[in-house]
Each structure stands twice: as structure tokens, then as C-alpha cells.
Amino acid sequence: MGISRRTALKAMAGATATSVATTLAPQESKAALVVPRPDALGMLYDSTRCIGCKACMVACNEANDLTPDTAASGGLWHMPVDLNEHAKNIIKLYRDTAKGEQSFVKRQCMHCLDPACVGACMLGALQKGDYGIVRYNPDLCIGCRYCEMGCPFNILKFEWSKAVPKMVKCELCRHRIAEGKGPACCEVCPVGAVIYGKRADLLAEAHRRIAERPDFYVQRVYGEHEVGGTQVLYLTHVDFEKLGLPAYGDDSVPERARSLQHTIYKGFIAPVALYGLLAAVMIRNRKSSGAAEEGES
Amino acid sequence: MSAHTHTQPQPIGGVIFTRPVIILAAFAGLAGALIVWRFAAGLGATTALNDGYPWGLWIAFDVVTGTALSCGGYAVALLVYILNKGKYHPLIRPALVTSAFGYSIAGLSVMIDIGRPWLAYKLPLFWHWNLNSVLLEVALCIITYTIVLWLELSPAFLERAKSSSVSALRRLGEIGLPIARKSLLWLTAFGMLLPTMHQSALGSLLLLSGPRLNPLWSTTLLPLLFLLSCIAMGFGAVVIEGSLSALFLRRKPETDMLAGLGSAMRPLLVLYLGIRLIDLAVRGQLGALFAFDLYSVMALLEMALLVVALVLLASDAQRRDLGNLFRAAMLLILAGALYRFDTFLVAFSPGAHWAYFPNVTEILITAGLVAGEIAGYIILIKLFPIVAGAPRRALAHS
Ligand code: SF4
Ligand code: SF4
């Protein structure tokens, strides 16, 4: 009987279906934890210490040569309403007057241990570089903005106002780290609400603070496990979700697509096999139909 | 012998720049001017795209929906070469032309949409490839497939060259045609592999947005659902194109074949609906499906359109009624387009304070590209042997 056309169709559907099945399977089991590199650098932001002075925002723009966003302030001062092409770092206020609850929150790239943006980028313009810093290289960026579609924290921003745009994101002041300094925001904070150091040390410090005041802090360090872990960590006394830090699970974001792709395209065997099968069925069909149409196959 | 000539593709002939073609070309020209503006002023000034919705109409429609609509070539090729239904062979060339145009337009849209297209030449530099990037797979596959589609059409161009009055062209046709015909099988097989890969990958793209995608759409089965629905849309597009070209070119419609496509669609639709519902059930989302909020209504609408299409295609008599078949095909396409818009725009929520609706420039550019595509199709079938079957007038004489 040889290869039947049914086999070919089955193979085509099967190529997707089996891989889907195999990727579903590991999800049932314990999510594989992403292990941070030992020299991973990060920041710890403690919202209970932040006074909302926004000195870090000004320092960030200065350190990164960003023009101020004066649209909302009538041209007077840097006042972005969210992270954007002029702001890699922002202080936002959460306030619930009914509950009498209030907190600032600092937002910037989380430097995920397994970043969705890095998984997205076609040519590796976004990469996890020295100290686990997620860095951006415009020379390999074609501006597709898939990284924006992927980042679970809405961090990446595009220079919409420019005809020759780039992506904008916090790179943990890697140019300053190379000079032996730390991120500008951590250096300038007058109350030490955001501090900089090795992720392992920051995590220990965070847990120390929680242990010290267990009924003050929320009993969780945001970023320890979320989306597989991030190098920027958060402490707060209000609900993390109120601060725009969603209750994501511990699974790394790019893992699902990655394992699917790897299953389907492992060694490129499946596509090549499918190609062979398609051609074989075509040849067989052409023979069996008696080469009714000469010329065109 | 006459039966034979009826199924051989022939140029339609006639005046090229008819009024419709000129109007369509004017639309395309307007789009061209807007595209120049977009590159001079940047994306912010010219589109409604923003950092919450970095992908808008051009990706969701021109690329994701447009290439699925252009799966006619793929769908009919599967039918003819894999399911061995030779009778559909005359549908292949016209379907390939629409596919080739559709994919070319999608490629063009991407170049307009991306912010730094001058670096796109780096895409083939394999030492830079991030093999984890689904978008890389989509991009490379679509580029390759567009080339393959035009190559699959090369016999049509070479046949024409062979009967040209210029001797150099004639020689090109004589030498090229046998080569093109010999390699056609391998090309066609490649032309079936590539859409299988990238049409499913278009679904996989959104796996990365999983945490911000509504659970009604966020499933690991996205690639499979996208693949099945693109084949259905491809069939739908072939039916519509077949009926419209019969109407406008005053030819006898290929009712037999189109009705046959109608019945080929049915198992596909049942399969798609079955997988969709079972997946929702397994993931415990059936409650959300019937919550009757925006998301549930959109998802239900997608499925309802397919159910109505199935009803319209239920009996053989219904499928042979061209008007009815046409409506069913329209519903299929609508359902597939809605599924794609929902997945890429509605189900995707970057946060409450973000909103997106395409602005006039985006819409005019998309419309202009589609107009250009239709004009190109009309010109091509007039000049080259694409469409088979005798004109209605000739038929009346015989
Ligand atoms: S927070 Fe977003 S931009 Fe930063 S590393 Fe994670 S995915 Fe990338
Ligand atoms: S916009 Fe640039 S950095 Fe972002 S994914 Fe695309 S190529 Fe990579």
C-alpha cells in the first residue's frame, strides 16, 4: 500500500498535536525553576520606605540621556503618565481613600531570570548579558515590537515619535556598572527605598525585613518566584496587584512557546520528514492517476 | 478535444486598464503616498498604535488574517495533491495567484509596520538567529513561501513568454518551461510544508503573551486551531474568488468544484469546533464561555458563525446553490478573521488605561494595499494563462 494520503494528513495534524501534547505534559509536573546566575545583579524596592520624591526619575533620564516628557505639565517639567520613550523608570501612586491605604511604586524593567522579551527577539537585540542584565542592542533590532507583546510587565517602550526609532528600557545602568558605579536611581534615592546589589543578597535582606516586621509587610517578596523569578525584587505593605504587579504564577513566560518550538523543530527532523512525506504522496498520487495532466504536475 | 481546451488555463485578454482597475490603482496610489508620510513622520504621528497595543490592524489584518485568507493555494493543493482529487486542478492556478499576492502584501505591510525596516536585511544572517523566537520562524517562513508561491506560478509566465513575439523571451520560455515543470512537484511539496509551519506558528506567537491573554483564547492548542482555521479560510477564499470571477468575467462558474469544496470544509469545521470546545472544557473555561461578557460574546460569535456555515453547507442541494455556498464561504472567512482579531487584539489586554482602534491612515493603507492586490490579480489573469474554463459567450456559441 505504501504511503497513503491519510498518513500524510495524519502526520501534518500529528506534527502539531503530538508536540502540543508533549508540552502540556511537563506543565502538569512541577514547573522547572529558573536558576539565577550567581553574579546576578538586581534592585530591591521597598514601597514602605518610598516618599515619592521622584528624584530617581530625574536621575534616570540624566544617566540615560533621555529627553524629559513635558506633555502633561504644559512644557514645564518631566511628568510622564506611564513608562514611555522618555521614561525608563517611573514612580506611581496607588491610593484608596475609602480604605485609607496608599503606596508609591517604582516601575522599570524587572530583569527577569527567563525574560519573555529575550525569547521574542528574532536576532537577539535583547539579550541577557553580564550580571544577568537584560540588555538592548539597536544594531540587531528591526523594530517589530514583539518584545512589547511578550513582556508581562509592559516595560518595553517604542520611540513612536521618531522616524528612526529604537526600543527603550531600563538596562540597570550597565554603562555605569561598567565604570564601577551602580544604577543612578539607587544612588540618588534619599531614603534608601531602592537599593542595588547581588540578587542573592537582596533576597536575603528582603526576607530579613519581612521576618523583622511580619505583620507590617505582605509575606512575600515579589519577583522571588513570579514568572520564574526576576532580578528586581519588591516589598510592600499593600496588595501587590494594587501596585500593578499582577499575581502571575511561577512559570517562566517564554517556556511554553520554547518547548513547543523545540519539540516540533528538534534537529529539523519533523519538517524534513513531513516534506519527504508530502513529496512521496504527490509522486504516488501522480502515478496512480495515470499522469492525466502532462506538463503540470 | 474541446473538453481538454476548457480545462487548460488561458489568458482572459481584453482591455487592461478598465475603469475598476483604474479606481483600484488610485486607492493603491493613495496608500503609497500615506506610506511615504509614515516613513517621514514615524509611527506615532501616523497610526493609533501605542505601547499598550504595539501590534494593530496591519499585523492582525494584513499579516495574520491576510495570509490565512491567502491559504487558498495551500488548501487546494492539499486537496489535489495529497487527497488526490485531480478534478480540482483548474482551481490551483487562480488560488496560487491570490496567495502570491496576499503573501506579498503581508510582507509589504510588515515592512511598513516595523520600526527599523532598513535592518530587515539581517534576518537571513543565521548566526544571529534566536531559535526560540516564534516570530523568527514566522518571518523566515513567510519570506520563503512568498518566493515559492511566485516560483510555483512561473510556468504560467513562461508559457506566456513562449508565445511571445520577442525571440529572447521565446527562448527563455522554451528553456525555462521544462525546468519549471520538472521542479514543480518539489516546489509544491515545499509550498505545502511552509504554510503548515507558519500558519500554526502565527498562533504560537501569542503563547508569549499568555499571561496577558484572556483564558478563552490562551491555550497551548493555539497553533493547531490557527492551522485548521486557515485551511477553512483558504477554501472559503477559493469559493468566493471562483464565484466572483465567474460573475465579473462572465464565465460559467465551476459549480461542481465549488460545491465539492463546500463539502470538504465540513469535517474541518467540525474538527475545529470540537477541539475548541473540548479544550475550553479541559481548561475549565466553559463557565467563562457562557458568562456573556465581551469576551464570551466574541468567542460565542466566532463559533456561531461557523455553526451557521455548517448548516448552510448541510445538504448537497444547498452546496450546489452558488448564492448559498457563497454566503457560507463568507461566514467562514468572517469567523476566521474574527478569531484572529480576537486573539491578537481583543483577548490581549495590556492594562485598563490602554486602548487601540485603527485610525484613518492605517485603514486607508490597508485598504489601498488590498485594492492594489485586486488590481494586480485582474491584470495578471488578463495577461497570463491562469484561469481555466471557457468564457460563457463561447459556450453559448458551441
Ligand atoms: S520585565 Fe519585561 S523587559 Fe524586563 S526583562 Fe522581563 S520581559 Fe524583558
Ligand atoms: S522590537 Fe527590536 S528588540 Fe523588540 S523584539 Fe523586535 S527586534 Fe527585538
Is residue A59 domain-resident? yes
> Which residue range is the domain that position A284 belongs to?
5-31+257-296
Could you tell me if A25 lies within 8 Å of chain B, comparing CB atoms?
A: no
Q: Is residue A197 part of a domain?
A: yes
In terms of domains, do A53 and A27 share one?
no
CA A23 to chain centre: 21
pLDDT range class, residue B352, cuts 50, 70, 90? confident
Whether residues A125 and A241 fall in one domain: yes
**How many C-beta atoms lie closer than 10 Å to residue B119's C-beta?**
17
pLDDT band at A20 (very low <50, low <70, confident <90, very high): low
Which of A134, A137, A231, A232 best tests ligand 1's pocket when mutated (most atoms within 8 Å of CB)?
A: A134
Q: What is the pLDDT of residues A95-107, one digit of tens each?
A: 999 998 999 999 9
- Whether residue A110 sits in one domain with residue A182: yes
The pLDDT tens digits for B246-302 are 887 777 778 888 888 888 889 999 999 999 999 999 999 999 999 999 999 999 999
**Which cell numbers hold the place of B45?**
504621528
% of chain A exceeding 90 in pLDDT? 70
Choose one of A228, A250, A272: the last residue of a domain.
Answer: A250
| Confidence band of B203 (pLDDT split at 50, 70, 90) | very high
- DSSP assignment, residue A180? T
Residues A126 and A233 in one domain: yes
End position of a domain, from candidates A234, A250, A266: A250
Q: Which of the listed residues A117, A136, A146, A158 should we mutate to test ligand 2's pocket, taking the one with most ligand atoms within 8 A of CB?
A: A146
Number of Cβ within 10 Å of residue A125's Cβ equals: 27
Number of domains in chain A: 2
Nearest residue to B137 via CA among A264, A272, A148: A264
Tell me which residue has its CA closest to atom 2 in ligand 2: A141
Residue A11: the pLDDT is: 63
pLDDT of residue A13: 60
Q: How high is the ipTM of this complex?
A: 0.90
Same domain for A48 and A148, yes or no, is yes
Q: What is the mean pLDDT of residues B319-336?
A: 92
Q: Are residues A144 and A266 in the same domain?
A: no
In a domain, A94, yes or no: yes
The answer to whether residues A150 and A281 belong to one domain is: no
Q: Name the helix (H) or strand (E) containing A134.
A: strand A134-136
Same domain, yes or no: A196 and A278? no
> In which residue are the cell numbers 511571445 written?
B164
What percent of chain A has pLDDT above 70? 86
Choosing from A250, A265, A280, the residue where a domain stops is A250
Please report whether residue A36 resides in a domain: no
| Contact (Cβ atoms closer than 8 angstroms) between residue B385 and residue B9 | yes
Give CA angle at A40 (A35, A41), nearest 5°. 145
Considering the domain architecture, whether residues A148 and A220 belong to the same structural domain is answered as yes
Residue A188 lies in a domain: yes
The mean pLDDT of A157-181, rounded to a whole number, is: 95
With residue B155 as reference, give the H or E element that holds it. helix B154-162
Examine residue A10 and state whether it is found in any structural domain, yes or no.
yes
Q: Name which of A129-143, A281-295, B57-71, B336-350 the model is least confident about.
A: A281-295
Residue-level length of chain A: 297
CATH of the domain at A84: 3.30.70.20
Least confident of A117-131, A233-247, B203-217, B246-260: B246-260
Note whether residue A97 is domain-resident: yes
Please report the pLDDT score of residue B247 as a whole number. Answer: 81
User: pLDDT band at residue A14, thresholds of 50, 70 and 90?
Assistant: low
Using a CB-CB cut-off of 8 Å, the residues of chain B touching A258 are: 132
Confidence at residue B200, expressed as pLDDT on a 0 to 100 scale: 93
The per-residue pLDDT of chain B, averaged, comes to: 89
What is the tens place of the pLDDT at every residue in A186-237?
999 999 999 999 999 999 999 999 999 999 999 999 999 999 999 999 999 9
pLDDT score recorded for residue B397: 39
**Residues of A in Cβ contact (< 8 Å) with B218:** none
| Domain annotation covers residue A164 | yes
Judged against a pLDDT cut of 80, whether residue A32 lies above it is answered with: no
Query: What are the start-end ranges of the H helices in B283-359?
Result: 286-289, 294-312, 316-320, 322-341
Q: Show the ligand 2 pocket: residues with CB < 6 angstroms.
A: A 120-122, 125-126, 141-147, 167
- In terms of domains, do A86 and A180 share one? yes
Domain shared by A183 and A268, yes or no: no
Q: By mean pLDDT, which of A46-50, B37-41, B185-189 is the weakest?
A: B185-189
Question: Do A85 and A211 sit in the same domain of this protein?
Answer: yes
